[in-house]
């Protein structure tokens, strides 16, 4: 008797099981285990998970399973915030429909010929994938019968908010019948998303997947101290040591990305660039070259950490510590995907210590290293100084009390300087006394 495939538990069409086997999916991920049955039942959900958790197939498999091939009208719509994400979802759906051939899927994104898209709608697709603005425009035009869909998936909803696309998503959702269901997937649930959720999702099920462990288990995290002026040189030194299959270097701003690229190109490196300053045509060309492995190093802004998916990323370098800590997860999530190992290096300056602390509070554990003689060497933990400061603060508190007890006169001009001098003098005396006590104790114990 043939062994049952783990995905057969969902009652999927055997053709889809063949497609899953072709992808070498041996076990459903947590998000797939929890989402697939809900979408098959037609339940509205809010799915909160990070990138790299198998989310795309968690909704594509049940959506395709639900489609009735005899009805040549849109039955499900998937909207993504960027063209690249929409293209990736379309590519994944195309693979599934190569096995389940009676389902027609179409991609509609900006930057393509609108009239041609209208002509393609002469035969209505059953699964619609695309960017919200183009799908909304085709629906308003009456060309695409999006209002007939009974399921809408909003992918990367928080990025929809950031890019100002939620209004177009709202228009698409507003055209659906009252009995249509909606699934919203988002790495975070910002307050700005709540009005949309409250308006369209009636008693949705929240499926929260703590994917941090999944994202981290294949990744080694390194922390490298640097100073602002030396950051570029330190990055160059790190690049000389690493021999990545493909490395993405993340910067906090477009200006920072351009400046770093200029420096590295001047050193003779071929550098790919992905950020919001590129035109759609330039962005498409860059992505094509990146996927063809024309570059070993790609410099990117945070939009790229959410909006694109590049296979084979072996290393990530955070040239800047992200000010929005959620972006750290998205950045490092580019590497260590599936069964592959990855390495993530974060350069930090003294004024970024607090941001590093916030990242550590999220459960990330760094290995403290520095670059010496062309090698990556372990160094003392970056937070040891913090511990020392706390001890000194305790000493300062004790000394302050002494000064206050002995200084009950009225405050006079220049008291701050005097107080500071007294404080430092007493601290020195306290340290000497502490040192003497320690020496006496050590002599006694000998």
The three-state secondary structure class of 317 is: strand
Per residue in 184-201, pLDDT tens? 998 878 888 999 999 999
H helices of 181-323, in order, are: 194-200, 212-216, 231-241, 254-266, 280-291, 302-307
CA angle 355, 357, 363 (to 5 degrees): 115
Residue corresponding to tokens 């998936």? 153
pLDDT of residue 311: 78
* Band of residue 399 on the pLDDT scale cut at 50, 70, 90: low
Q: What is the pTM of this model?
A: 0.68
Backbone phi, psi, residue 415, to 5°:
-65, -30
pLDDT tens per residue across span 233-255: 999 999 999 989 999 999 988 88
Name the β-bridge partners of 129. Answer: 78, 107
d(CA 338, CA 329): 16
Write the CA distances from 373 to 12, 63, 138, 238, 318, integer angstroms.
Answer: 57, 55, 60, 11, 22
Domains of the chain listed by start with CATH number: 6-210 (3.40.50.300), 213-378 (3.40.50.300), 400-440 (no CATH)
Rounded CA-CA distance 309/381 in Å is 33
Residue pair 207/45 in contact by the 8 Å Cβ criterion: yes
pLDDT tens string 290-348: 888 899 999 988 766 566 667 789 999 999 998 877 788 888 888 887 677 899 999 99
Residue 248 and residue 272 in contact, taking contact as beta carbons nearer than 8 Å: no
**Pairing relationship of beta strands 342-348 and 219-225 according to DSSP bridges:** parallel
Q: Which one has a higher pLDDT value, 179 or 187?
A: 179
């Amino acid at each position: 008797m043939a062994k049952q495939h783990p995905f057969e538990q969902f009652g999927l069409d055997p053709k889809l099981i063949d497609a899953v086997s072709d992808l070498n999916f041996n076990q459903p991920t947590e998000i797939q285990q929890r989402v697939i049955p809900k979408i098959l039942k037609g339940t509205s959900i809010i799915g909160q998970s990070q990138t790299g958790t198998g989310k795309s197939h968690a909704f594509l498999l049940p959506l395709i399973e639900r489609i009735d091939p005899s009805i040549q009208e849109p039955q499900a719509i998937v909207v993504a915030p960027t063209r690249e994400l929409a293209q990736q979802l379309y590519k994944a759906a195309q693979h599934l429909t190569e096995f389940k051939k009676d389902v027609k899927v179409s991609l509609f994104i900006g930057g393509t010929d609108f009239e041609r898209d209208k002509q393609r709608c002469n035969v209505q697709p059953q699964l619609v994938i695309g960017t919200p603005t183009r799908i909304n425009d085709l629906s308003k035009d009456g060309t695409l019968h999006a209002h007939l869909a009974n399921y809408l998936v909003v992918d990367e909803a928080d990025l929809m908010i950031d890019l100002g696309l939620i209004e177009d998503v709202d228009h698409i959702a507003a055209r659906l019948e009252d009995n249509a269901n909606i699934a919203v997937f988002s790495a975070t649930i910002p307050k700005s998303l709540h009005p949309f959720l409250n308006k369209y999702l009636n008693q949705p099920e929240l499926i929260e997947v703590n994917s941090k462990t999944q994202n981290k288990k294949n990744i080694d995290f390194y922390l490298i101290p640097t100073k602002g002026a030396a950051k570029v040189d330190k990055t160059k030194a790190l690049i000389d040591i690493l021999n990545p299959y493909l490395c993405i270097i993340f910067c906090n701003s477009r200006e920072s990305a351009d400046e770093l690229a200029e420096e590295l190109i001047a050193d003779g490196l071929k550098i790919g660039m992905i950020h919001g300053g590129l035109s759609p045509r330039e962005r498409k060309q860059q992505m094509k070259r990146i996927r063809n492995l024309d570059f070993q190093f790609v410099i990117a802004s945070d939009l790229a950490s959410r909006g694109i998916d590049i296979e084979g990323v072996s290393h990530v370098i955070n040239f800047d510590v992200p000010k929005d800590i959620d972006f750290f997860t998205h950045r490092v999530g580019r590497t260590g995907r599936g069964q592959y190992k990855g390495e993530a290096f974060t350069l930090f300056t003294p004024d970024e210590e607090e941001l590093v602390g916030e990242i550590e509070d999220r459960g990330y554990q760094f290995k403290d290293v520095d670059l010496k003689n062309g090698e990556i060497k372990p160094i003392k933990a970056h937070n040891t100084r913090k511990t020392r400061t706390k001890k000194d603060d305790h000493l300062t508190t004790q000394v302050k009390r002494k000064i206050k007890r002995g200084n009950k006169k009225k405050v006079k001009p220049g008291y701050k300087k005097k107080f500071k001098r007294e404080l430092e003098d007493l601290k020195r005396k306290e340290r000497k006394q502490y040192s003497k006590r320690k020496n006496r104790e050590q002599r006694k114990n000998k």
